[in-house]
Amino acid sequence: MYYATIIVEQVKHYSKRFYELAREKARKEGLDLTIIYGDGYREEKEKRDALDIPWGIKIKNKYWTIGSNVLCWQPCLGRVKNADLIIMDQGNKYLANYVLIVKRLLFGKPNLAYWGHGKNFQSEHPNGTKEKIKKRLICHVDWWFAYNDMTVSIVQEAGFPSDRITNMHNSIDTRGVIEAKSALRDDELQQLKEQLAIQEGPVGIFCGSMYDKKRLPFLLKACLTIRKSVPNFQMICIGDGPDRQRIENAASECDWIKCVGMKNNVEKVKYFALADVFLMPGAVGLAVLDSFALKVPMITTHYPYHGPEIAYLHDGINGLIVEDTVEGYSRAVIDILKDKVRYSRLVDGCSKSAALFSVESMADNFIDGLSHCLEYVKRKRGKK
């Protein structure tokens, strides 16, 4: 039996299903897969979107701050010494990665794989030292588990062999949220409407971590502008994080803005069932898949710090990517709410896109790549 270990900083609630499926599928292939994780740094903890996995190994991460940079030591080296493959997050801040890479360079082992974006899409200094380090180390592993097509291109352009890259088509549990929506009862939705005091009229929704890159001040200004043209417009905000107070303050002043806090995959479904549009002027990530699965078109901007999942969003087909100004964004939302034909096309596009992504397919892609990676590792050993 081969032993593979994934090392992550923390386990996000939306990734739990993937880890469970990956472990089940690995066992069927005769592979032992485990995960080592800890707690996130202060700002990550404030998002309240992490959880524990009973079968995983939890460690106590240590953090240091140097200026604006955060470094993380994951005390995991003794727990991975017998692993046939160690899969690491690509982030620069993970000090254990450097130790493992140096050992691989000096002794030819351990066998390592990266998973990640290929680069920091939200870096304000894309040509800075941190990104140069990341690019320099991108090829010092045996395998790459790439998030999606965009990451594959980045890794290939860096010179990594394409036959050792697995495209995971990063996803969330879309099937779970679709099933949860189908199971909703009319009386449940009516009760939620009454609880939130939602009136007749279009409803926008925001769902995500509440931090600077999500641009909540931009969102709130846009909502106020939309409300002036669409007097019965209302807004539901789901999530938590260091900027949540901005939403709380706005909700205290405007009774049509609702701040409901953090909700897990199933809990958020009933709120989306009340919504018409998904407003995300800031960084787009995996939440775009909620938009598809729940048929609530996302409207974002040409913001330079989107995650690689922005590749899933096609302007005018399954959502909108519009001018990066409050005025332009607001106008786009107002127009789509008033144009029922165009809006229906976007909803149809969401439905078609939802069929392309699932956590089940992501887990299949991962296990297929893991099997090929271990075959490669076996061949590499045979050559020594």
Tens digit of pLDDT for each residue in 19-60? 999 999 999 999 999 999 999 988 888 778 889 999 999 999
pLDDT at 284 over 60: yes
CA–CA separation, 176 and 181 (whole Å):
9
Matching residue, tokens 């775009």? 288
Which pLDDT belongs to residue 126? 80
**What's the pLDDT tens digit per position in 179-193?**
999 999 999 999 999
* CB-CB contact of 50 with 14 (8 Å): no
CATH fold of 2-171+359-382 reads Rossmann fold (3.40.50)
Measure the CA dihedral 236/242/248/249, to 10°: -130
Which pLDDT belongs to residue 266? 85
**Best CA proximity match to 140, nearest among 169, 79, 97, 76:** 97
* Average pLDDT along the chain: 94
pLDDT at 115 over 90: yes
User: DSSP letters of 66-81?
Assistant: ETTEEEEE---GGGST
The answer to which of 46-50, 255-259, 302-306, 348-352 has the lowest mean pLDDT is 46-50
Which pLDDT belongs to residue 140? 95
13 three-class SS: helix
pLDDT band at 383 (very low <50, low <70, confident <90, very high): low
pLDDT at 89 over 90: yes
Topology match between the domains 2-171+359-382 and 174-354 = yes
| H or E element in which residue 272 lies | helix 269-272
pLDDT at 384 over 60: no
For 342-354, what is the mean pLDDT?
97
Residues with Cβ within 8 Å of 305's Cβ and at least 6 positions away in sequence, in order, are 121, 122, 123, 124, 213, 282, 283
The answer to which of 18-22, 171-175, 279-283 has the lowest mean pLDDT is 171-175
pLDDT at 5 over 90: yes
pLDDT at 122 over 90: no
**What's the pLDDT tens digit per position in 356-381?**
999 999 999 999 999 999 999 888 77
* CB-CB contact of 47 with 17 (8 Å): no
**Best CA proximity match to 32, nearest among 79, 77, 88, 85:** 85
Which pLDDT belongs to residue 317? 98
* CB-CB contact of 46 with 33 (8 Å): no
Domain ranges of the chain: 2-171+359-382, 174-354
The architecture of the domain spanning 174-354 is 3-Layer(aba) Sandwich (3.40)
Length of the chain: 384
pLDDT at 230 over 80: yes
**What's the pLDDT tens digit per position in 199-213?**
999 999 999 999 999
The answer to which of 41-50, 268-277, 299-308, 335-344 has the lowest mean pLDDT is 41-50
CA–CA separation, 108 and 292 (whole Å):
44
Which pLDDT belongs to residue 245? 96
pLDDT band at 67 (very low <50, low <70, confident <90, very high): confident
